[in-house]
Amino acid sequence: MLAPYAVRVEQSRGRRHPEPAHPYRDDFQRDRDRVVHSRAFRRLENKTQVFTRRFSDHFRNRLTHTIEVSQISRTLAAALGLNVELVEALALVHDVGHPPFGHAGEKTLDAAMRAHGDSFDHNLHALRIVEDFEVRYAAFRGLNLTFEVREGIIKHSRDYQPADYPQLAEYRLDQRPPLEAQLIDLTDEIAYNTADLDDGYEAKLLKLGEIRERVGIFDRFYREAEKQYPAAIEKLKFNEALKRMLDRMASDLIENTRARIEAAGVKSLEEVRAHGERLAAFSPEVDAERLQAKAFLNQRLYSNSALKPEKAHAERAIQELFEHWTAHPEALPKTYREHARHQPPHRVVCDYIAGMTDHYILEQHEKHCS
């Protein structure tokens, strides 16, 4: 049963190119399937989350992270009476716009674009992917996703000012996104805050003692695990604490969002859109715990000296290839050379690099810049 403020597929604003109804899948299920079968989705397997494959095959990549976000999102959406099929589609597509090498790659690509008076935004790039770059269907370019999924791609993690993005006017930038989209940014945080603690500990870059000292929510649950399972090895107690940390954040997000909806008196999707702020949120107490964990990861993992050589190599590869192809667009593959006839070279080069996997961009760097 859907809550009165959930998105109903039968009320969808539809696709850019109308299509006949499918006999046994609704439109959001079809969107989910189109994302899963896209090339951009498959490439996530070879894009860095925090660690490259050199460290271990067991660490998360963009694809496994996306699957974890999808699992958490489906669970929370069902508890809140939201449209689970829409939430799953949004969770699966939320990272397809990321370039190679994680946030380091995104930062470098954005800096390269700003030198040309432009910028790179992974949400906007994801929209370009699903609207144009994916070529799978004879009837249209892109994936022809529903309005609600395209809107969620743009608005799930930030609010864009209408005056600054007139090209996005159709996406109701002056209104809040549906709760299904609001949920994704928060489940994303739940997933990576817990997963990155796990991978950092497994990589021996984070020590148990410092995690317990600096991340209060983890320490509280580790003490519980020690008391309940005194004979268990350290890693199993670690796993138990991490599981309880995830559960606390997920449960709080459900309960606090439900309370905020009730307090706001919201009874419909249009009231969600018209509300002055996003309704999906952690409680102040859990949000403080989340921020503490996030600050710890920023200070001790993402900036860890052990990751700096690969990060520097990745940044150099992106910067040098960007400069090379911008100066020599004739060296681009044929499809991108054709695009460069109608768009500035720096935009075409950005699109090309952003779609690459980690290993492919390094191959290209060795080929063109060594």
Please tell me the pTM assigned to this model: 0.96
Shared-domain flag, residues 256 and 111:
yes
Question: For each successive 10 residues of the chain (370 residues), what is the average pLDDT?
Answer: 97 97 98 98 93 74 96 98 98 97 93 97 97 94 98 96 95 97 98 97 96 98 98 98 98 98 98 98 98 97 92 94 95 91 94 96 93
Task: Determine, yes or no, domain membership for 3.
Answer: no
Residues spanned by the domain of 259: 9-309
- Close Cβ partners of 218 (under 8 Å, ≥ 6 residues apart): 197, 211, 212, 241, 242, 245, 293
Give the pLDDT score at 255.
98
Give the pLDDT score at 49.
87
Shared-domain flag, residues 182 and 207:
yes
Number of domains in the chain: 2
Shared-domain flag, residues 181 and 73:
yes
Give the pLDDT score at 57.
75
81 near 75, Cβ under 8 Å?
Answer: no
Shared-domain flag, residues 292 and 358:
no
Task: Determine, yes or no, domain membership for 288.
Answer: yes
Task: Determine, yes or no, domain membership for 41.
Answer: yes
CB count in 10 Å sphere of residue 289: 22
Shared-domain flag, residues 128 and 219:
yes
Shared-domain flag, residues 208 and 337:
no
Shared-domain flag, residues 29 and 169:
yes
Q: Last residue of some domain: 309, 331, 356?
A: 309
Task: Determine, yes or no, domain membership for 1.
Answer: no
272 near 265, Cβ under 8 Å?
Answer: no
d(CA 109, CA 120): 7
Shared-domain flag, residues 278 and 365:
no
CATH number of the domain encompassing residue 77: 1.10.3210.10
Give the pLDDT score at 38.
97
Shared-domain flag, residues 268 and 351:
no
244 near 221, Cβ under 8 Å?
Answer: yes
d(CA 310, CA 319): 14
Shared-domain flag, residues 27 and 161:
yes
Task: Determine, yes or no, domain membership for 103.
Answer: yes
Give the pLDDT score at 54.
59
